[in-house]
A and B are shown apart, each in its own frame.
Chain A
Amino acid sequence: MSGEVQAAAVLGGLQESEQLEDSGHRGGRVRRQRIGLGDWLLPVYTVLAFVFLLIPIVYTLVFSFNDSIKSNISWRGFTFDKWLNVCNVEGGAVCEAFANSIVIGLVATVIATTLGTMIAIALVRYRFRARSSISLLLFLPMATPEVVLGAGLAAQFLAVGVPKDMTTIILAHTMFCISFVVVTVKARVASLDPALEEAGRDLYGSPSQVFWRVTFPLLVPGILAAALLSFALSFDDFIITNFNSGSVSTFPKYIYISASRGIPAEANVIASAVFLFALVLVIVAQVSRAARAKRLAKLS
């Protein structure tokens, strides 16, 4: 699950910047020290680390403009063709796989986020029998190797006689996403002051009004983070998908299969597009946050 790490990093970045902003005012002065080993070692090390991290992404991006014929390994000249005709190759197999991945990701995310949020609230707010064992059981899908989960599910579907298609993929993805949603939302629920909900009740809010006007808006950041995480997990899952997809193609599965005969540049196009989309999202979020902070600073 390499994408999962990426997603967590992006999400972590989103949340971290919020905290940094809060503590920004208190930032002390930077102390100047004698020029020594650390003064050049750290920058060099940092640059090397970033180069190492970014090379695959840069490679993917650059080779999406390669005028390749079959395999996309050596540079043969610059072209926009692959970007413009991304869906016209191999009968649109890349695009179909991509579209499948998006649909599966969205449906699994909606189901997992809804169920996971409800579970998280129940686990934090109510005391019931077997509460702690349920908490523990919810961790299991995260701790179990994906190969085992995927194979186990595939065996169950076979035993029950369910044909493998989009539905089985969505079921499988929902299953492992719920755990991540519960963990993420639970932290948010736990940090919510119960007095806020009590104030809502005290101010004539019926239980459903209190939930939708007080609890839910306050949980939204946690729920959004959970939804992003679960979409990212679903979108790039290969192992579990491969066991439970039958003949349905998803984006990771398509790339895996085509890797044996040379990955087409169209795959690079889609990967680059996803990367750029995520990058734009992060930049927009940061800019709007900075603008809001400025506006607030002006107010006070």
Chain B
Amino acid sequence: MSVSVREFAERGADLELVGIQKRFPGFTAIEELDLTIPAGSFFALLGPSGCGKTTTLRLVAGLEEPTRGRILIGGTDVTETKAHQRPVNTVFQSYALFPHMSIIENVAFGLRRRRIGDADARAHEALRLVELDHLAQRRPAQLSGGQQQRVALARAIVNRPALLLLDEPLGALDLKLRRQMQLELKTIQEEVGLTFLHVTHDQEEAMTMADTVAVMNKGSIEQMGAPEQLYELPRTVFVANFLGQSNLFTGRVAGTTDTAIAVDVQGTRLVVPTTRAARHQGEVTIGVRPEKVALHRDAPAVSPSRNVLGPGHVIDVSFSGVSTQYIVSITGVGTVTVFAQNIGIGPIASEGDEVWVSWDVEHGFGLDDDPADAGKFAADDDTHAIAVQRREALVAELEES
């Protein structure tokens, strides 16, 4: 498939990043990045600020040059080309609408630069898609944030780029508008069939919108996959904590069977299926999502299909309507967070109560990180260090209250 800026893309093109490295004076934004995004997909690059995700996007747009590596769009090497020569359009975080032009002039800008006929008609069509055609003659300053966001989107998709880049475009909107725009973006992507590359630090946004999510940390991709796959089976401490919350335990593998491994956590054996564990020997970190953990007032019956921890004490109960979050302190193991749906009326346990927690063995996961790496000498931005810091912060918070 040949890609030229002179013509409209029939459909989205795939994007390939090969061995990308980007150094700025004084720091390295991306150490080594390989990434393939299939045509027509909605791909989210998720990570904390400073993880290199926006740099990646700017490299693809042609606004930065990689120090090393190649960028291919639809099989064509575009590494050496300038931004205006690439079949790529961006929805900027600040929208970057031209303040001195009317909305319609903004939307038609790209078409006019490419000398595509019927620029006005096409621009009006794109504005109708985002339901803003009636504001075509206004200036950007006269529009609300949400409207500006939609104009920025129309200005990009009117060009039918092979690849559309979204740089946290919903960050400045309030929650309600953001939810609405998420749905609209998803609908538009399905309608026009372009490849979307969405950069965000909002894990919920990434999971709601994207087919594939790549979690990025410190300039490289930690894990990539469908949202439910990433959530149910995180592979690193960073992913387990950045994408939702996790209860994590560290211990030595004490026994293995054909289908499962048993980990000794301060004298308690916790079982994880072999297929869901990344490491099968030595020191390992295992975990379980808080909503998969059940809370018991009495010691549950021992069963090979459930992991049981306890007894412990409830140290915090926070009721949020739909669910209740319990924090249970278990001697030697630490704290375990439990999310329980409010199926009955009110919380089932209160602070100070003696409780047990349990979860289905099939719901646990084993992480790939080396627990020995974690320690007080680790760098502050290390994935383990983040986990340790979070834990400490939580403990401090609990001690305060």
Binding site for B on A (CB under 8 A): 193, 195-196, 198-206, 209-210, 213-214, 217-218, 296, 299-300
Contacts and interface: CB of A to CB of B under 8 A. Distances in A.
A241 B114 CA distance: 51
A195 to B, nearest CB: 4
Contacts of B109: 200, 203, 205, 213
Contacts of A204: 5, 84, 110, 113-114, 159
A299 B92 contact: no
B155 interface: yes
12 contacts: A196-B96, A199-B90, A199-B98, A201-B83, A202-B62, A202-B63, A202-B89, A204-B113, A204-B114, A209-B113, A214-B98, A300-B138
Contacts of A193: 94, 96
B176 interface: no
A218 B114 CA distance: 22
Contacts of B96: 193, 195-196, 198-199
Interface in B135-152: 138-139, 142
A200 B109 CA distance: 8
Dominant secondary structure of chain B at its interface with chain A: loop
Interface residues on B, range: 20 to 34
B88 interface: yes
Interface in B87-101: 88-90, 92-94, 96-100
B161 to A, nearest CB: 9
B142 A203 contact: no
Nearest to B115: A204
A202 B81 CA distance: 12
A299 B100 CA distance: 17
A203 B110 contact: yes
Given A199-B90, A203-B84, 11 more contacts: A195-B92, A195-B96, A196-B96, A200-B98, A200-B109, A201-B84, A202-B88, A204-B110, A296-B142, A299-B138, A300-B142
A160 B283 CA distance: 85
Contacts of B90: 198-199, 202
Given A202-B89, A203-B155, A299-B138, A196 B113 contact: no
Looking at B5, B88, B113, B142, the one whose CB has the most chain A CB atoms below 10 A away is B113
A299 to B, nearest CB: 7
B61 interface: yes
Contacts of B292: none
Contacts of A202: 61-63, 83-84, 88-90
Contact of B83 (A198, A209, A218): A198
Given A218-B99, A299-B138, A205 B113 contact: yes
A299 B83 contact: no
A193 B94 CA distance: 9
B82 interface: yes
Given A203-B113, A204-B5, A205-B84, A195 B89 contact: no
Looking at B5, B88, B92, the one whose CB has the most chain A CB atoms below 10 A away is B92
Contacts of B92: 195, 198-199
B53 to A, nearest CB: 17
A61 B359 CA distance: 94
Contact of A203 (B63, B82, B89): B89
B63 A201 contact: yes
Nearest 6 CB-CB pairings of A with B: A203-B110, A199-B96, A195-B96, A201-B83, A204-B113, A217-B100
Contact of B63 (A198, A206, A217): A198
A201 to B, nearest CB: 4
A117 to B, nearest CB: 17
Nearest to A296: B142
Contact of A201 (B82, B100, B138): B82
B84 A206 contact: yes
A22 to B, nearest CB: 10
A206 B114 CA distance: 10
B190 to A, nearest CB: 24
Interface in B66-90: 82-84, 88-90
A214 B106 CA distance: 11
Contacts of A209: 113
Contact of A196 (B61, B98, B142): B98
Contacts of A213: 109
Contacts of A210: 84
Contacts of B89: 202-203
A204 B6 CA distance: 10
Contacts of A201: 62-63, 82-84
A204 B160 CA distance: 12
A202 B165 CA distance: 10
A205 B88 CA distance: 13
A57 to B, nearest CB: 36
Contacts of A203: 84, 89, 109-110, 113, 155, 159
Chain A CB count within 10 A is highest, among B93, B96, B114, B155, for B96
